[in-house]
């Protein structure tokens, strides 16, 4: 694997978000419209389709395996096994800011960020912004 891991933001409906959050659901079945690869990160955003809103709950997972071109799997879809990044990371995947050094968020947004997820892997300033970064969107 020589390519840099990509970060993919994906919408997750509440029914599934709970199961991902408590780690009962360690896979994602998705249309492969963005070239998912082992080592990529999924930023899973709980999304309420009824009112077209994000709830604010976020879970970050790594892609451990990608299954495609397999009998039974519709063409263009992949199944990914995903897992939590254990232990609090305390470093934003996108901007790299930490508890101790958040100057870039302050420069960009005028205020210090907060952690968007329980594992401290993505900051509030980066949750929906991706300037110059390799991030694909929902």
Catalog residues that contact Zn ion under the rule CB under 5 A.
92, 94-95, 97, 102, 105, 113, 123, 126
Rg of the chain in Å (alpha carbons): 15
CA angle 7, 60, 41 (to 5 degrees): 25
Shortest reach from residue 104's CB to Zn ion, in Å: 7
Residue 72 tokens read as 């039974």
Cβ neighbours of residue 102 under 8 Å, at least 6 residues apart?
A: 112, 113, 123
Q: Determine the distance from the C-alpha atom of residue 24 to the mean position of all C-alpha atoms in its chain, rounded to a whole number.
A: 17
Distance of closest approach, residue 60 Cβ to Zn ion, in angstroms: 12
Beta carbon of residue 135, minimum distance to Zn ion (angstroms, whole number): 11
């Amino acid at each position: 694997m020589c390519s840099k891991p990509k970060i993919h933001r994906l919408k997750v409906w509440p029914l599934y978000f709970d199961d991902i959050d408590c780690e009962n659901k360690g896979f994602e079945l998705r249309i492969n419209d963005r070239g998912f690869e082992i080592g990529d990160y999924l930023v899973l955003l709980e999304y309420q389709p009824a009112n077209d809103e994000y709830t604010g709950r976020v879970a970050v997972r790594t892609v451990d395996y990608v299954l495609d071109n397999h009998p039974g799997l519709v063409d263009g879809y992949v199944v990914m096994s995903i897992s939590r990044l254990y232990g609090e990371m305390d470093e934003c995947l996108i901007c790299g800011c930490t508890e101790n050094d958040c100057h870039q968020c302050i420069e960009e947004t005028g205020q210090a960020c907060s952690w968007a997820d329980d594992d401290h892997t993505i900051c509030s300033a980066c949750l929906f912004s991706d300037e110059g970064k390799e991030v694909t969107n929902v």
